[in-house]
Structures are given as C-alpha cells and as structure tokens.
Amino acid sequence: MSMADCISIDADALVDLAGRLVRIPSVNPPGDYSAISDVLRREMEAIGLETAILEGQPGKPNVLGLLRAADAGARTILLSGHMDVVGPGDLSGWGFDPFSATVADGCLWGRGAVDMKGAIAAELAAVSAVMKTAGRLPVNVMLGATVDDETAGDMGQKYVLEAGLAGAGWPRPGLHILGEANSLNITGAFKGRIWLRVAVRGRTAHGGAPQEGVNAIDALVEYVRRLRARPSARHPLVGADTLNLGTLRGGTRVNAVADECEAELDFRFGTVPAAEAEQGLRQVMERLHEEDPSFAVHEFRVFEKRDPVNVDPAASDVRIIAGAIARVTGREPGFLGTLSAGDAYHSLRQGIPAAWVGPGDACLMHAPNERIGLDELVLAAKVYASIILAWAGVP
C-alpha cells in the first residue's frame, strides 16, 4: 500500500473551512482582505505551517504557509488560490444568499465556492493530511492565498514571485498547482490577452444634419467591426481568437453628433505573442485612418497585456500530476486549454511549470447559484495530497 492510499481527509473540517471562507464577502473591487487573510493565516498556523504575510502594498496581504524540508536546498511545490471573488450580481438569480454558504443537495452554495475558496480549503486540508501521514517530506510544501486575481492586479501572485518570497527568505517554487476549477483535470494551455482603451474624436453638428459633422461613435464602431472581420486564428486547445467590446461611451445628447467616443476592448488569442497581437490592432487603426483621415484617434492605450503561455503536456511534472489524479479518481485526466492563465501566468512567465487542477464546474465561475459538490471537495483534497507525495517521490 502506498503512502497516498493512507491519506485520510477530515471532510467535516474541510467543508466547515470552505463555508467560513465563502461567508467572508471578499468581493473585488473593493478587495477587503482583512478578514479572510486573518482566517487563513490562523488555519495555516493551526496545522503547523510557518506563515508569512507578503504585502507589496498596504491592504494587499498575500498569505503564505510553508512546510520546510530537512534539506535547505530542497525543491518546492506551491499550491495556491486567490482570495478575491467577483460580486454576486442580481440577487434575484440566486436560490440562496450568495454569502450564506448554504449546504444543500450535496453541495456548498455561495459566491466563491468554485472560484475558488473551495479549492483553497481543499489545498489546506491536503497539506494537513500529508503532515499527519508522512510527516516532513524531502521537498518544501508551500500554500499560497493571494490577492487581486479578479482585477489582474500586480500585488498578488506577481508580487509574491517577483519580490515577496525573496524578501522573506523563502524558497522559489519548482512547481505551481493553481486550484482553478476544471473538474480535476489538468489545464495547461492559456490564451494571451490585450485590454485596450481607444478614444476617437469627431466633429459635432446638429443631430438633424449629421452629414455636417463627424460622428465619433460611428467611427469607433467601424474600427471594432473591422477588427471582428479579420481572419481568426485557432489554437487546438484554447480555440479561436475572440474580441469583446466591453465598454462604449460617447455622445452627450440625442440631437447632437457625438464628437467623442471611448471604448474598452478585450482581445484573447492563442497563437502569437502579445506584441504581435497588439501590432495587428494598431495596423487596423492605421489603415482606417489612411482611408478616412477624419478617423482621429487621440488615445490608444493597452492597459493589460499577456502572452499566451503553456506547460508542455509531455513534461515530467505534468506526467506526475496526471498519474496522481488518475490514482485518486480512477480516470485519466484531460489536458485542457482555457481563456486565461490567471495566477499561473506569472509562474509560467518565470519558467516555473504551472497548471490548473481544481474542483468544480468552470461554467459556475462568476455565475449565480455558484456551488461545489461536497464529495468533489474531499476528492480534490485527496488529489492534492497525492500530487504532493508523488512530486516528493514518496512511494
């Protein structure tokens, strides 16, 4: 019998912790982490982990826990999740109070149950079970609860890797498991993204004589139309490129030609670097101006840019993860792609192998009636424990 077969998860404690986390409304924005970070720090300390608060900015407390190996030069596995959640939206779409953490029909219901407080609780339960069963391991085991994933902020996982760990004298991870929901498969291919703000100027005129002016709304809508008309590349795992017109603001009244308009666009892509994707957006703008000099852009600003990233599905780390999942679940996990890497982006960009392995249905992320199966929470904890032991080389 292997050590992984001896792992026992305290299901009641796991569900209790997940519920307590869901009941803390850590909605971002505004992103108040004071309550949830304190709970998680105390939970990590209660199971015997060394803890640190890595705060690159006041009010942005990333909570880290560490089980050190005996060897100071040991490798480190990081299991992490983000503490922030999106808002619940229209409450009429919910069957329960989104922050009540109601247990019903074999599920834990509430905002953050899937994305991703259930996973954080399962990761902590896994480390606790490993410590009770195997004691100190030949690798360091690190837990991370980070801030500002939902707003793509710089003070979360990015800060932890770039400055926080080194400043605390903590080891750098050699593998990162992010508990984003994917029904306990392996997600290792991720789209890049560009968030773009474009503002154009026109010339106002009376609404009854629009031919006397230049309508900035029309001009910006034409730019978006041309972007959408371009051939779309397709990646075998992450799918086709997408463009979303997220915001559009223009005009002052119905009977006037709009002389200003601003839009924010979300472009996702899987086959080219972000710099090349950005150049493509600029080229469409430049061609439109060449054809129509009245198309006057006074702002073209990329305020978020990420390359597509991936982990090699044939890499030894991925094979270890797949074997651990199969051992617990009795099935071979799929290797998937998705629309954004989340916090795994910062690890992959720094050459740290990273993948999503998380409980729950990704379709319930950001949705009303978000919920996660209690049995899947326990299964996830067993999967995480199995991954830790397998990566540590513990038979």
pLDDT for 94-120, tens place per residue? 999 999 999 999 999 999 999 999 999
Task: Tell me the average pLDDT across 326-340.
Answer: 97
Cis check: omega of the bond before 30, within 30 degrees of 0: yes
Pairing relationship of beta strands 371-373 and 234-235 according to DSSP bridges: unpaired
Q: What is the pLDDT of residue 287?
A: 96
- Asked if 124 and 391 count as a contact pair (C-beta separation under 8 A), the reply is no
Q: Is 329 exposed, middle or buried (0-12, 13-18, 19+ CB in 10 A)?
A: middle
Q: What is the pLDDT of residue 375?
A: 97
Task: Tell me the average pLDDT across 193-201.
Answer: 98
- pLDDT tens digit sequence for 89-99: 999 999 999 99
- pLDDT tens digit sequence for 35-91: 999 999 999 999 999 999 999 999 999 999 999 998 989 999 999 999 999 999 999
Task: Tell me the average pLDDT across 156-168.
Answer: 97
Integer Cα distance of 321 and 387 in angstroms:
6
Q: To the nearest whole number, what is the mean pLDDT of the chain?
A: 97
Q: What is the pLDDT of residue 6?
A: 84
Confidence category of residue 245, pLDDT binned at 50, 70, 90? very high
Confidence category of residue 2, pLDDT binned at 50, 70, 90? confident
Integer Cα distance of 68 and 70 in angstroms:
7
Please determine, for residue 225, whether its predicted confidence score (pLDDT) is greater than 90.
yes
Please determine, for residue 255, whether its predicted confidence score (pLDDT) is greater than 80.
yes
Task: Tell me the average pLDDT across 151-173.
Answer: 97
Task: Tell me the average pLDDT across 8-33.
Answer: 97
Q: What is the pLDDT of residue 135?
A: 84
Task: Tell me the average pLDDT across 269-293.
Answer: 96
Q: What is the pLDDT of residue 1?
A: 64
Confidence category of residue 331, pLDDT binned at 50, 70, 90? very high
Q: What is the pLDDT of residue 355?
A: 98
Domains, the chain, with CATH or none: 4-189+308-392 (3.40.630.10), 192-306 (3.30.70.360)
Task: Tell me the average pLDDT across 111-136.
Answer: 96
